[in-house]
Structure 1
Amino acid sequence: MKIWTKTTTARRGAASLAVAVSMVAAGAGPAFADPAPQPPQQAPAKPAPKPAPKPGAAKPAPAKPDAKPGDKPGAKPAPAKPAPPAVVTKTYWYSSHRVALWVHSPAMNTDIQVQILLARDWFSNPGAKFPQLTMLDGLRAQDDQSGWLINTNAEQFYQDKNVNVIMPVGGESSFYTDWKEPDRGKNYQWESFLIHELPPILEGQWRSTDVRGIEGLSMGGSAAMMLAARNPGFYRFAASFSGILQLSSYGMPQAVQFALRDGGGYDSMKMFGPPSDPAWKEHDPYVLASKLRGTSLYISSGNGVVGPHDKPSDIPLLATNYSGVGLEVLSRVTSQQFASRLNKLGIPGQAVYRPSGTHTWPYWEFEMAQAWPQAASALGLSGDKVACQVGDAFKKAPQVKDLGGCLTPQYPVPGGSAQDFRNGRIFTGPKGPKVVGGAIGGAYVPAADRLGLPTSDEQTGRDGVKFNTFERGKITWTPQGGARVE
């Protein structure tokens, strides 16, 4: 099997080449060949023979594993206690299809925020479960929001798709892996969280199946391939957008150290140890490539040449985003090497090499959309499409013209009917069809049984306060306090 490659004829450009060369010269660039083989290890020395016991001496009692003072002779050691499960400590609804969970991670001993973009048919088909797609952030991941929600149209893009999109929040400079030691007050154990702690919550409480995909940009792209390779079969789809896909070859640990220092002052020694530590190879997508057999793979990068989303500098072909130029060159080289490695192993995948572009969000938004058909196929959604028309209960409702296209057919709710549109949900009610959307629509989800059906569309009161009224209450929204049930 071969790697399927999409590319366009393009010049590498003197500027990109100069950046790549300068990075290598500084000790922060990739090796341009396979990692050097390790020197042969010497055979371990044989232990010295134990002295023979003296005649008549009592034989020593055999050592008992994990024996403690006071244990009875022959007693078996107590079995290790199972790790406590992760639990949801807080939930906040941003909208009817976007919810944030704070999940207490026993491995990290802290609460981790995870946002979910709920599948299109979440309300219209309440008995259904949906595949899940995890989207990982970049090196400068924030602790309050996912970069995918801040910098791209991900929330709008997935509105019409029947997948639960999982967006972990935080993990700055973590590579979403388990670190050897805490650093800067954070005990990063992200692999344990994503592979072991979070899935039971998603599958037990949030109607997700065990059909999973994972994708990410830059650091998140490296981690997506790393996690998929380290946990074969756990993900059916893995995508790297501008990821660095060699970590242990000559010069790469130093490049990662530089990046972690620049991305928050972290120390890669506390992540994987010194460059000679086996942990670097144990987490290197290139080294682990054979473990990806059977996973649908998507790899993409630009080449550092100024592209449609870059501001040209005074130097031909070079963008003003100088760090973005160098990082994208690094991504292109390691992505090509990784794809070549897959090809040698006979593992199929799709490699998309853009003819220009630096290390920046507009290109990753583009790749998110480009990768979706392949992700959908791997997740069992290739034939899934929006199939609806305005329901009979809402055909004469004047609000429909402002709601955008429908996403679901009309469906029953307690006391009436509802239908989902791109710009909100419309409900039947005692005062005719009414629309609930945005943050008020989010607050309404957990309070619907208490409040009943809406009796007004969203209205604006004094000082810009927005509100909807319901049969048994009211929800107000302010810029300072958000949505609140009254």
Structure 2
Amino acid sequence: MRSGLERSPYRAGTGNRWRRRALGVAAAALVMPMAVGLTSVGTAGAQSIGTPGGGPSTAQVGGEPTVSRVDFLTDRRVALWVNSPSMGVPIQVQLLLARDWNIAPDKKFPAVFMLDGMRARDDENGWTLDTDAEAFFADKNVNVVLPIGGNSSFYSDWIDQNNGQNYKWETFLTKELPPILEGQWRTTQDRGVVGLSMGGTSAMSLTARNQGFFKFAGSLSGILTTTTLGMPQAIAYAMQDAGGFDADAMWGTPGSDAWDAHDPYVLADKLKGVSLYISSGSGTTGPYDQPSGIPGISTNYAGMGLEILSRLTSQTFTTKLNKLNIPATVNYRPSGTHSWPYWEFELHQLWPQLASTLGVEVDKPACGVGGAIAPVANGGNWIGDCLTGEYSVPGGKAQDFRFGQIFAGGDGAYAVAGRVGGAYQGAGGPGGELGMPTTGELGTPDGRGRFNHFQKGSIYWTPQTGAHPVTGPIKDEWSKQGWEGGPLGYPRADQTKIPGKDGVMQGFEGGAMYSSSKTGTHAVQGLIMDKYGALGYEAGWLGLPLTSENPIRDNGRFTRFENGNIYWSPASGAWSVENGPIFDAWKDENYENGRLGYPISDKFDIPGGVQQNFQHGVITVKDGKAVIG
């Protein structure tokens, strides 16, 4: 391991020419391994494009970025969907909130941007998917920013749309996102950025192109010269393989000004004053690799070639830093390939430097557990070590741990964690609609889910439906129907207000529950729910339900609504019958039990009136008079 700035054994002029020539040969030789993946796994989201040109983004963006959706995944991990004016679509960004987020509600925290690799995915950033980043940052007093998406993007503003994407990542990360972080998520303008592979390249280029935006920049196995002979072609192969992207749409044809304007090597002089950390392995088999049987060669052949390329480009880059008298911490590891376990290791190694740069503690302050919280904390190690001391919350006390929280009040002390903890935080925690917990996390009888009960409701979770609170009259009716074991199953959405009406609704696996003071609380489910949806749900002519589903003849079912009914049977299907002359005439024939049987159509127009078909006849209405035929 080397600390400090890597120095070239060659004279500045001849050594640099030799290294760049060797790099060109290496790049050409490693094009095919690059095509297998200029990194790893990651996460994507909705994306966008930028304006032509080589300098930092100056595109005019219409409108202001807004947050369209917020999902708390745990008590301190949250997913935001940010409407990006430049990209024209919502971009998901996940945040790992600072250690003292709960105990110090008025405090703001520095930000650490964690950039993904070439194969970034649409559902989760690789740092949380493939490393211990979430647990590692749990005791750190920074807000961690995890962009979701950007496969092959190099987190830059592209000059053209390509492969269904409108990439404008530099504008999004440096212009659109910061006001939201600072205005709504208690984040300061003290920022650091860490990236692996493609993200390492981007960490250096974004920092150089937006001087003063980041105080710290870390490249882990980054490709730090992108315009050297052979490198644009290698990058183009990798982008095509990783996501089917055309590199010309990114920065134009190789040799254009835009390629130079995004090359960390070319931009190196703009990194003065930034705390820099650069690392790479050697490509040989390391402690996290599976040996191939050939000495020094692992089974990760692509990762071997990519790491050799990263080492060569990093050495060239740091040699230029040295020439410019720009200090950097450089760690060239004696082994290791292009893979996540090594980047996780480097994250731990760089933290003291990053923490010092951002002005936060390297280690968490001492804390302990006591009182009513102690037996719960000591009852199992799954909740991890304490992160804070006890602090007051509405109804009692709370304490934060690495993997959740413990609350103590009049009903006892209970842990709330994981996705249930996220839903609890999203609902306002102890001061919200649920109040304090009254049970710990329990398993449901069917083995599918988990739940906590609270003073004013419950939160139920399954991997398929997520975690959602159930409160008030909807919870009361759901419990009467058998909780998750009843016809509705588990909740799959939070309660929401019914648009344009005085009431609330909540979606479940088997249907929905509607509640209002005028109509009461009732479920609509199954094929009746499908028909209700086809007719516009509560916004349609049927209005809100007046009953839940009722059993009738021949295994049929019906639900009454404000302005009509839906009837279903296995033989006839689900059909609506509107209140009025047709319904009254059918009622006079004893509904489905009479000579007409079940409806087999909705009402439809005929010359001079309307008609509805039943199993054994029809009802027509002309001039307000119903006739059975």
Give the TM-score, by structure 1 length.
0.84
- 1:482 is matched with which residue? 466
- Which among 371, 391, 404 is matched to residue 424 of structure 1? 404
- Alpha-carbon RMSD across the aligned residues, in angstroms, is 2.3
- 2:79 is matched with which residue? 100
Q: In 2, distance between residues paired with 1:115 and 1:5?
A: 34
Which sits farther off after the overlay, 413-422 or 167-176?
A: 413-422
Q: In 2, distance between residues paired with 1:341 and 1:19?
A: 14
Which sits farther off after the overlay, 412-421 or 281-290?
A: 412-421
Distance 1:382 1:475, change over 3 A: closer
Which sits farther off after the overlay, 318-327 or 289-298?
A: 318-327
Q: In 1, distance between residues paired with 2:268 and 2:296?
A: 33
The alignment status of 1:212 with 2:191, answered yes or no, reads yes
In the alignment, residue 281 of structure 1 is paired with which amino acid? D
Give the secondary structure class of the aligned counterpart of 2:177. helix
- Which among 448, 451, 466 is matched to residue 450 of structure 2? 466
- Which among 255, 267, 272 is matched to residue 276 of structure 1? 255
Map 1:382-421 onto structure 2 (within 5 A): 382=361, 385-395=364-374, 397=376, 401-402=380-381, 403-421=383-401
Which sits farther off after the overlay, 401-410 or 248-257?
A: 401-410
Q: In 2, distance between residues paired with 1:265 and 1:245?
A: 23
Map 1:303-322 onto structure 2 (within 5 A): 303-322=282-301
| Percent identity between the two aligned chains | 54
User: When you count strand as a share of all residues, which structure comes out higher?
Assistant: 2
Q: In 2, distance between residues paired with 1:6 and 1:367?
A: 17
Q: CA deviation at 1:316?
A: 2.7
Distance 1:414 1:279, change over 3 A: same
5+ long unaligned stretches in structure 1 = 8-17, 31-79
Distance 1:424 1:3, change over 3 A: closer
Give the secondary structure class of the aligned counterpart of 1:451. coil
The alignment status of 1:358 with 2:307, answered yes or no, reads no
- 1:187 is matched with which residue? 166
Q: C-alpha deviations, 1:95-124, integer Å up to 9, x for none?
A: 101111111111111111101011001001
Q: CA deviation at 1:83?
A: 3.0
Q: CA deviation at 1:430?
A: 2.6
The alignment status of 1:147 with 2:126, answered yes or no, reads yes
- Which among 425, 437, 441 is matched to residue 417 of structure 2? 437
Q: In 1, distance between residues paired with 2:337 and 2:375?
A: 49
Distance 1:242 1:396, change over 3 A: closer
Distance 1:344 1:474, change over 3 A: same
- 1:24 is matched with which residue? 28
Q: CA deviation at 1:22?
A: 6.3
Give the secondary structure class of the aligned counterpart of 2:320. helix
Q: In 1, distance between residues paired with 2:279 and 2:31?
A: 24
In the alignment, residue 351 of structure 2 is paired with which amino acid? W
Q: In 1, distance between residues paired with 2:274 and 2:359?
A: 13
In the alignment, residue 416 of structure 1 is paired with which amino acid? G
The alignment status of 1:4 with 2:4, answered yes or no, reads yes
Q: CA deviation at 1:313?
A: 1.9
- Which among 99, 123, 129 is matched to residue 102 of structure 2? 123
Work out whether residues 6 and 315 of structure 2, in 8 Å CA contact, stay in contact via their aligned partners in 1.
no
Give the secondary structure class of the aligned counterpart of 2:422. helix
Moved over 6 A (4+): 26-30
Which sits farther off after the overlay, 351-360 or 319-328?
A: 319-328
Q: In 1, distance between residues paired with 2:459 and 2:104?
A: 26
Q: CA deviation at 1:156?
A: 0.6
Distance 1:291 1:3, change over 3 A: farther
Work out whether residues 119 and 243 of structure 2, in 8 Å CA contact, stay in contact via their aligned partners in 1.
yes
- 2:212 is matched with which residue? 233
In the alignment, residue 342 of structure 1 is paired with which amino acid? L
Q: In 2, distance between residues paired with 1:427 and 1:194?
A: 36
Map 1:230-269 onto structure 2 (within 5 A): 230-269=209-248
Distance 1:405 1:27, change over 3 A: closer
Give the secondary structure class of the aligned counterpart of 2:298. coil
Give the secondary structure class of the aligned counterpart of 1:263. helix
Aligned residues: 426
- Which among 417, 424, 435 is matched to residue 452 of structure 1? 435
- 2:546 is matched with which residue? none
Q: In 2, distance between residues paired with 1:422 and 1:125?
A: 17
Work out whether residues 99 and 142 of structure 2, in 8 Å CA contact, stay in contact via their aligned partners in 1.
yes
Distance 1:121 1:90, change over 3 A: same
Q: In 2, distance between residues paired with 1:445 and 1:27?
A: 48
Q: In 1, distance between residues paired with 2:166 and 2:215?
A: 29
- 2:135 is matched with which residue? 156
Q: In 2, distance between residues paired with 1:204 and 1:391?
A: 36
